């Protein structure tokens, strides 16, 4: 038997897993496509028509490498947020930026605090650098700010993750509560404030941008409200030295020319963004009405999905999910204890929500054994 080059002890000890099994993989396994793709929190409404036209117009330029400085997009983001370009770093979606921040602040064995059941890709990156995950259960379907703070202090954690609005529950904290949390954090603890859904929730959920604090990194994306999940582009906003530290390790050619130009164009069309926010609000109402018509409890949401309490335990919610998948309706569900009695349904096109409405009663009956 041939020998093989050894992995590092850290990588060799990691399981061969991915945070999410994509709908494409599920379709390959099933041998047929989904009729309703309402599980990945994408925007079925797509990007602005102006963005699409711009992308089509520059397709012939893709023989060139991207600008490794991401200059135009950084300048556009800075102008949009009222900060300087030195306060912005661009990455391959928030996922790519989370990988960097884990490398920047977590040494092997360090404690990293997050909520039990929060965004699993963050956990994936923490494991990849040898961090020790410390999780805090949700409280009343919200991330427990007091519990997170207690864990940070107890563990002397160099890094803590918080999403607002939250995935997978769709809940949110008002800005005043987030500010209190930030002010109570040890100065030596970096907060990753994931605002992927920030454009979709109430304005009261977003604190004013403050780039004077060296222990807060705020992350946003073009994947949700802007409808550009497929181009993998996001950005982080922070104090200038923190951004300079990102430059030490980021993939300078990681964000394509197409993604950079699309991001600039997307920011320029705020009228389209406003129209999408309105359609998402209508979609949340529709999903809630469908849930209530079937005796289920939709949770309040500030995102582009609605989390639905199935009224039983995690095993029952899993049966509901599997029954919907078998009916060609792609959804997802929280998996952590305390959250797993729910399913999560993304806002989709009217025809997709029509299919969900048609199939949910049968899925519930199948889950109940009727």
Whether 1 is in a domain gets the answer: no
On whether both 191 and 290 belong to a single domain, the answer is no
Q: What is the DSSP string of 143-209?
A: --HHHHHHHHHHHT-SEEEEESS-TTT-----HHHHHHHHHHS-TTSEEEEE-TTGGGS-GGGSPPP
Using the 3D structure, point to which of 269, 296, 326 is the last residue of a domain: 269
pLDDT for residue 370 is more than 80:
no
What is the band of 1 on the pLDDT scale with cuts at 50, 70, 90?
Answer: confident
On whether both 93 and 146 belong to a single domain, the answer is yes
CATH of the domain at 352: 3.90.1150.10
What is the band of 212 on the pLDDT scale with cuts at 50, 70, 90?
Answer: very high
Whether 277 is in a domain gets the answer: yes
On whether both 42 and 73 belong to a single domain, the answer is no
Number of domains in the chain: 2
Range of the domain at 285: 9-46+271-367
Average pLDDT over residues 86-110: 98
What is the band of 110 on the pLDDT scale with cuts at 50, 70, 90?
Answer: very high
Using the 3D structure, point to which of 269, 287, 320 is the last residue of a domain: 269
Give the pLDDT of residue 201. Answer: 93
pLDDT for residue 121 is more than 90:
yes
Give the pLDDT of residue 18. Answer: 82
What is the rounded CA–CA span in Å between residue 324 and residue 342?
14
- Alpha-carbon dihedral 158, 187, 209, 280, rounded to 10 degrees: 40
Give the pLDDT of residue 20. Answer: 83
Whether 37 is in a domain gets the answer: yes
Average pLDDT over residues 337-354: 97
Give the pLDDT of residue 138. Answer: 98
On whether both 77 and 200 belong to a single domain, the answer is yes
Give the pLDDT of residue 204. Answer: 96
Average pLDDT over residues 114-124: 97
pLDDT for residue 285 is more than 80:
yes
pLDDT for residue 159 is more than 90:
yes
On whether both 71 and 169 belong to a single domain, the answer is yes
Give the pLDDT of residue 132. Answer: 98
Whether 2 is in a domain gets the answer: no
What is the band of 19 on the pLDDT scale with cuts at 50, 70, 90?
Answer: confident
Q: What is the pLDDT of residues 167-179, one digit of tens each?
A: 999 999 999 999 9
On whether both 184 and 252 belong to a single domain, the answer is yes
Instruction: Report the percentage of the chain scoring pLDDT > 90.
Output: 98
**Residues 315, 320, 322, 323, CA torsion sign:** positive
Average pLDDT over residues 199-208: 96
CATH of the domain at 142: 3.40.640.10
On whether both 276 and 315 belong to a single domain, the answer is yes
Give the pLDDT of residue 169. Answer: 98
Q: What is the pLDDT of residues 226-272, one digit of tens each?
A: 999 999 999 999 999 999 999 999 999 999 999 999 999 999 999 99
Give the pLDDT of residue 17. Answer: 83
What is the rounded CA–CA span in Å between residue 194 and residue 191?
9
Give the pLDDT of residue 346. Answer: 98
**Lowest mean per-residue pLDDT among 1-15, 146-160, 171-185, 254-268:** 1-15
Whether 4 is in a domain gets the answer: no
On whether both 171 and 280 belong to a single domain, the answer is no
On whether both 249 and 109 belong to a single domain, the answer is yes
Q: What is the pLDDT of residues 178-202, one digit of tens each?
A: 999 999 999 999 999 999 999 999 9
What is the rounded CA–CA span in Å between residue 298 and residue 321?
15
On whether both 259 and 317 belong to a single domain, the answer is no
Whether 3 is in a domain gets the answer: no
Q: What is the pLDDT of residues 307-319, one digit of tens each?
A: 999 999 999 999 9
Whether 340 is in a domain gets the answer: yes
Question: pTM score > 0.85 for this model?
Answer: yes
Whether 323 is in a domain gets the answer: yes
Using the 3D structure, point to which of 247, 269, 291 is the last residue of a domain: 269
Which residues, other chains included, contact 220 with Cβ-Cβ below 8 Å and sequence gap of 6+?
Answer: 94, 195, 196, 198, 199, 234, 235, 236, 237
On whether both 253 and 181 belong to a single domain, the answer is yes
pLDDT for residue 294 is more than 80:
yes
On whether both 176 and 67 belong to a single domain, the answer is yes
- Tokens 């049966």, located at residue: 319
């Amino acid at each position: 038997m041939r020998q093989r080059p050894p992995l590092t002890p850290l990588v060799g000890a990691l399981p061969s897993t991915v945070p999410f099994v994509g709908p494409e993989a599920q379709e390959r396994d099933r041998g047929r496509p989904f009729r309703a793709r309402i599980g990945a929190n994408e925007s079925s409404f797509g990007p602005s028509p102006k963005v699409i036209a711009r992308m089509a117009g520059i397709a012939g330029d893709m023989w060139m490498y991207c600008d490794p400085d991401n200059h135009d997009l950084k300048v556009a983001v800075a102008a949009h947020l009222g900060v300087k370009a030195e306060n912005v770093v661009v990455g391959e979606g928030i996922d790519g930026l989370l990988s960097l921040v884990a490398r920047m602040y977590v040494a092997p064995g360090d404690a990293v605090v997050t909520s039990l059941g929060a965004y699993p890709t963050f956990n994936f990156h923490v494991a990849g650098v040898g961090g020790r995950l410390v999780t805090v259960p949700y409280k009343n379907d919200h991330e427990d700010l007091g519990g997170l703070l207690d864990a940070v202090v107890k563990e002397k954690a160099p890094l803590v993750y918080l999403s607002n609005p939250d995935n997978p529950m769709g809940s949110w904290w008002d800005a005043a509560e987030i500010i209190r949390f930030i002010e109570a954090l040890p100065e030596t603890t970096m907060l990753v404030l994931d605002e992927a859904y920030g454009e979709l929730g109430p304005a009261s959920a977003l604190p004013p941008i403050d780039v004077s604090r060296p222990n807060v990194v705020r992350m946003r994306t073009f994947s949700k409200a802007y409808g550009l999940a497929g181009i993998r582009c996001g950005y982080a906003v922070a104090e200038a030295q923190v951004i300079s530290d990102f430059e030490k390790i980021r993939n300078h050619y990681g964000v394509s020319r197409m993604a950079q130009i699309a991001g600039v164009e997307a920011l320029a069309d705020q009228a389209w963004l406003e129209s999408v926010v309105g359609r998402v609000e209508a979609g949340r109402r529709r999903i809630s009405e469908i849930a209530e018509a079937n005796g289920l409890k939709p949770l309040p949401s500030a995102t582009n999905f609605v989390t639905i309490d199935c009224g039983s335990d995690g095993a029952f919610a899993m049966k509901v999910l599997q029954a919907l998948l078998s009916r060609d309706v792609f959804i997802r569900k929280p998996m952590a204890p305390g959250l797993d009695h729910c399913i999560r349904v993304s806002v989709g096109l009217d025809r997709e929500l029509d299919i969900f409405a048609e199939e949910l009663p049968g899925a519930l009956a199948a889950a109940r054994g009727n």
